[in-house]
Amino acid sequence: MAHTSTRLYATLRPIIKCGFSLFFRRIEVIGQSNIPQNKPVILVANHQNAMIDPVICCSYIPQQLHWLTRADVFKNPTIKRLLTQFNMLPVYRERDRLSDMQERNQEVFNEVYERLKGNAMVCLFPEGTHRGKKQLMPLKKGVVRMATGALEAGVKDAVILPVGIDYEDYYAYRKTATIVIGTPIPLTQYEASLISDAARAQNVLMLDIRTALKSVMVDIEHDNEYEVWMGLRPLINHLEDDTLGDQFHRYHSLLETLATKSDAAAVLQSKGPQWFDAMKDAGLDEALFNPKGYRHVLAVLLGFPFAIIGYLCFYPWYLLIERIQRKLVKDPLFINSIRIVFWTFFTPLYLIVWWLALTLSPLTWGQALLALGLIAICGRLTLWWNDQAKRFGHWIKVQRFKRTQADAFQQLMTLRSELIAVLRSVQSK
């Protein structure tokens, strides 16, 4: 019987999840109750952020996932053994230029069907490639072929589970991420039509998968609207003080409504760029905007001593990671992937170096252990403190701008209020 879980996956998942919790300011999973229990699942997700996409799913979805991955990363025998321990399976593409490509892929799909019979959750990105843009690209036919093949192989009660992954930013750290799990699509509803008219049934299934993915992700279809809708998102998030899930649903709903509200869309497309330019000229950032930012001053003052220790101990390590990623990374979308690897797996080694240095100092063993614990705690608190300091610093900048350029500030706030009024009118419909 095909395996459905490994010990290495189970061991490393909490460690990697801890790394994600440090790297991202906040991560929220929406719709976790939609995950089927004790059923074969084909998980399909949008692909926008390189290696972070599959790993964040592995960290925050309870079941062990089985990803289909491009075959060229399996060439090294050591890496192949490691990837196998993470339930990963190779998929061969035309660019691999293999004469027996179809035979190899069929062997992989046969393994997929066996794992599905054991109620595994097999995952793939039907777009076939990643792209740092909130748009759903055309889907490849592989997902439909897999679903059809699963039915033909006798897999019972299989479902397709759409998952949307949404990032506040693809290139910066200490941002937010949202995982949206949609309603499962039972494959049994296509079984009869696949027998009578396979081509038509596969087209219907492909369209249903695409529709399901669009319902759980941000998909800004038109390039001429992209910059405006993305630029307005921080403002839309500030309409209410709520969770990441609420913010995602509100933004998703507003985009759908704006697609049919040409008057409101025209106003936003006209005034939005004016507001972006005014904010840029003032050096302000809506994502950090908080009329009551002074409340962060207590956190900044109380956390300052810990932040000093954290910066002294970890800033050299941070600079080293940044230097390494600049040398290693050719595709900017892999920047955060490399950062997370170092934050998660190499920071403990950096702490071991500190431990060795402390044991060589005049400190006793117990004192060295306490000092190492303090260093680790200060490092974690510094991440939080830095978030608070940014918001407090931005509030000070807003107050200075308000005081020194009162007319320009009033124009900016008037424009902001006009945009909010339009957004609220769209939201209420």
- Report the first-to-last Cα separation within the chain, whole angstroms: 54
Does one domain contain both 418 and 290?
yes
Count of domains for the chain: 2
Residue written as token pair 């439909």: 144
**What pLDDT is stored for residue 92 in this prediction?**
79
- Alpha carbons 10 and 21: distance in angstroms, whole number: 17
CA–chain centroid gap for 204, Å, is: 29
Token reading at 95: 């660019």
Residue 46 and residue 57 in contact, taking contact as beta carbons nearer than 8 Å:
no
**What pLDDT is stored for residue 270 in this prediction?**
93
CATH number at residue 105: 3.40.1130.10
**What pLDDT is stored for residue 280 in this prediction?**
95
Does one domain contain both 344 and 402?
yes
Q: Does residue 414 sit within a domain?
A: yes
Does one domain contain both 361 and 299?
yes
CA distances to 19, 219, 307 from 386, in Å: 17, 32, 8
- Alpha carbons 182 and 42: distance in angstroms, whole number: 13
Does one domain contain both 312 and 350?
yes
Question: Which of 335, 314, 315, 337 has its CA nearest to residue 325?
Answer: 335
**What pLDDT is stored for residue 220 in this prediction?**
95
- Contacts of 111-116 with CB under 8 Å at 24 or more apart are 111/2, 112/66, 112/68, 112/146, 112/149, 112/150, 113/149, 113/150, 113/153, 113/154, 113/155, 114/1, 114/2, 115/2, 115/3, 115/4, 115/66, 116/40, 116/41, 116/42, 116/150, 116/155, 116/158
Does one domain contain both 260 and 408?
yes
Does one domain contain both 244 and 198?
no
Does one domain contain both 281 and 331?
yes
Does one domain contain both 227 and 270?
yes
Residue 137 backbone phi and psi in degrees, to 5:
-80, 170
For residue 35, give the amino acid letter: I
Does one domain contain both 246 and 201?
no
Q: Is 91 helix (H, G, I), strand (E, B) or coil?
A: strand
Domain residues for the domain of 82 are: 7-215
**What pLDDT is stored for residue 142 in this prediction?**
87
Length of the chain: 429
CA distances to 165, 176, 185, 243 from 248, in Å: 11, 11, 22, 9
**What pLDDT is stored for residue 358 in this prediction?**
93
Does one domain contain both 207 and 257?
no
Q: Does residue 95 sit within a domain?
A: yes
**What pLDDT is stored for residue 274 in this prediction?**
95
Does one domain contain both 314 and 407?
yes
Q: Does residue 1 sit within a domain?
A: no
Average pLDDT for runs of 10 along the chain of length 429: 82 94 96 95 95 95 92 82 88 73 86 95 92 94 91 94 97 96 96 84 94 97 93 94 92 92 89 95 93 86 96 95 90 92 93 93 92 96 95 94 96 95 87
Say how many CA atoms lie within 13 Å of 113 toward its Cβ.
Answer: 18
**What pLDDT is stored for residue 1 in this prediction?**
55
Helix (H) / strand (E) containing 89: strand 89-91
Q: Does residue 255 sit within a domain?
A: yes
Does one domain contain both 207 and 65?
yes
Neighbours of 19 (CB within 10 A): 20
Q: Of 162, 196, 215, which closes a domain?
A: 215
**What pLDDT is stored for residue 96 in this prediction?**
66
**What pLDDT is stored for residue 74 in this prediction?**
82
Q: Of 215, 242, 273, which closes a domain?
A: 215
- Alpha carbons 225 and 231: distance in angstroms, whole number: 10
- Alpha carbons 422 and 225: distance in angstroms, whole number: 16
Q: Of 189, 215, 241, which closes a domain?
A: 215
Q: Does residue 339 sit within a domain?
A: yes
Question: Which of 108, 119, 49 has its CA nearest to residue 83?
Answer: 108
**What pLDDT is stored for residue 395 in this prediction?**
94
**What pLDDT is stored for residue 194 in this prediction?**
81
Token reading at 262: 């040409």
